Amino acid sequence: AQSVTQPDIHITVSEGASLELRCNYSYGATPYLFWYVQSPGQGLQLLLKYFSGDTLVQGIKGFEAEFKRSQSSFNLRKPSVHWSDAAEYFCAVGFLSGGYNKLIFGAGTRLAVHP
Amino acid sequence: DADVTQTPRNRITKTGKRIMLECSQTKGHDRMYWYRQDPGLGLRLIYYSFDVKDINKGEISDGYSVSRQAQAKFSLSLESAIPNQTALYFCATSPDREMRTGELFFGEGSRLTVL
């Protein structure tokens, strides 16, 4: 069955430090992959997406993610974290199922940023 | 003004009561969704609608019903609320049927507490 795993429930980093949030998926073919961010009290916003081609994708707010087929991973990275990046981050996998486009979300990783 | 508006933003109700959550959008999208967010579980799809005449069950539709009153309006109802329906509910829209766009546009969420 298709699934998305985000191994880290909570991560704390210092402002200015680098960040990597992990995401692993289970799917038989190459899925569509997404990272969403949820700021406190807000809905989710798309950070970036991967469909095909270059495995390193750039997103908004200085984020990037790398698709590694051999590891079934799509990790999110940022070289220097800002206090405003504190939020919850969701990885999602999209695929066709039963005739409709299905999106499965991971459980989320909550990021705290220390000054 | 938000493109996807949910009302109410917060609601406390009692077991057995009927509750309706409303969603309206100004994005002109055909597809609308209702998700439920629980800590540690990510987002799970309750219902989705391709257009006014096309409504489909998602992963966790039991205990819920929906109504697509117009292209811009999609309501979620709990006919007889129970405590395990306490959650944060999100409405979302997307512009077309193809997963390649991949982007969902979320409302700010409706927090429901069932006592």
The rounded distance, in Å, linking the Cα atoms of A91 and B10 is 26
Please, which residues have CB within 8 angstroms of residue B65's CB and are 6 or more apart in sequence?
B76, B77, B79
The rounded distance, in Å, linking the Cα atoms of B99 and B103 is 8
Instruction: Identify the band that residue B114 occupies on the pLDDT scale cut at 50, 70 and 90.
Output: very high
The answer to whether residue B115 scores a pLDDT higher than 90 is: yes
pLDDT at position B101: 56
The rounded distance, in Å, linking the Cα atoms of A35 and A94 is 11
The residue assigned the tokens 């309706």 is B20
Q: Do B43 and A9 touch (CB under 8 A)?
A: no
Mean pLDDT (whole number) for A51-59 = 91
B92 touches chain A (CB under 8 A): yes
Q: Do B42 and A4 touch (CB under 8 A)?
A: yes
pLDDT at position A102: 76
pLDDT at position B91: 96
- Biggest alpha carbon distance in chain B? 41
The rounded distance, in Å, linking the Cα atoms of A18 and A1 is 33
For all residues of chain B together, what is the average pLDDT?
91
Q: Do B40 and A107 touch (CB under 8 A)?
A: yes
| Cα-Cα-Cα-Cα dihedral sign, residues B57, B59, B64, B67 | negative
Nearest-neighbour CA in chain B from A75: distance (Å): 17
Each residue's pLDDT tens digit, B20-61:
999 999 999 988 999 999 988 889 999 999 888 999 999 899
| Cα-Cα-Cα-Cα dihedral sign, residues A49, B59, B72, B38 | negative
For all residues of chain A together, what is the average pLDDT?
91
Q: Search chain A and give the residue with CA nearest B105.
A: A45
